[in-house]
Each structure stands twice: as structure tokens, then as C-alpha cells.
Amino acid sequence: MGISILASAGFALALTDTGPRLAAGAAALLTLTSLLVTRLGNVPINGEIRGWSATNPPADWAGRLQRWESFHDVRTAVAIGAFIVLLLVTESAGRRRGDHGNP
């Protein structure tokens, strides 16, 4: 994920047009958001779950799993959003250069 953040940020710095540059920067921030949600949301819950007894889970186990699912939904949506933004920026940059994917 770190490589994705750096690549998106590098792409933003390499672009000269303001709109695509801002979009690529936004993709880097979205990817960073996905990383932070994973690190600060999902990973601590994973640590808690590892300590649970399979035969005697805590009383609020369903709530903890729902919380993990919520973090997972957010990080997935944000990561997909970053990917879509990068696809659009790449296509836009290719059109500006006159490159239409032809060999």
C-alpha cells in the first residue's frame, strides 16, 4: 500500500495540468486513508479476535465483528475510489498527449 501512495503522489507531482494533478493527489490521500483505516481500525480488532476463545467468545463478539466489517467496508470503498480516480487521470493524461492506446 505504501508503494501505491508513493506512486500516486509521484504521478501528481509529474503532472502539469492542475485538474489531473489534484485528482492524482486526491488518489494518494484516498490510499493513505485506506491504510490508516486498516492500521487503526481493522488491525487492533484482529488482535482482539486472536485472543478470543473459540468456545467462549466475549459477550459483545457480534458487535466487534460488525465494527470490523464497517472498517472493512470503508477501506474497500476508499481504495476502489482511489483506483478509479487514477484510471480516470491516466486516461485523461493519455488523451492530452494524443495517446489513445494504439500501438
Report pLDDT digits (tens) over 64-90: 999 999 999 999 999 999 999 999 999
Of the candidates 5, 43, 44, the one whose C-alpha atom is nearest the C-alpha of residue 27 is 5
pTM for the whole structure: 0.84
Q: What is the number of other CB atoms lying within 10 angstroms of the CB of residue 93?
A: 19
Please give the pLDDT value at position 94: 72
Angle between helices 18-37 and 2-14 (to 10 degrees): 170
Please give the pLDDT value at position 31: 97
Please give the pLDDT value at position 103: 54
Q: Which residues of the chain have pLDDT under 70?
A: 97-103
Please give the pLDDT value at position 45: 97
Of the candidates 85, 86, 81, 89, the one whose C-alpha atom is nearest the C-alpha of residue 37 is 81
Q: What is the number of other CB atoms lying within 10 angstroms of the CB of residue 42?
A: 18
C-alpha distances in angstroms, 86 versus 4, 33, 59, 61, 72?
A: 10, 15, 43, 38, 21
Please give the pLDDT value at position 92: 85
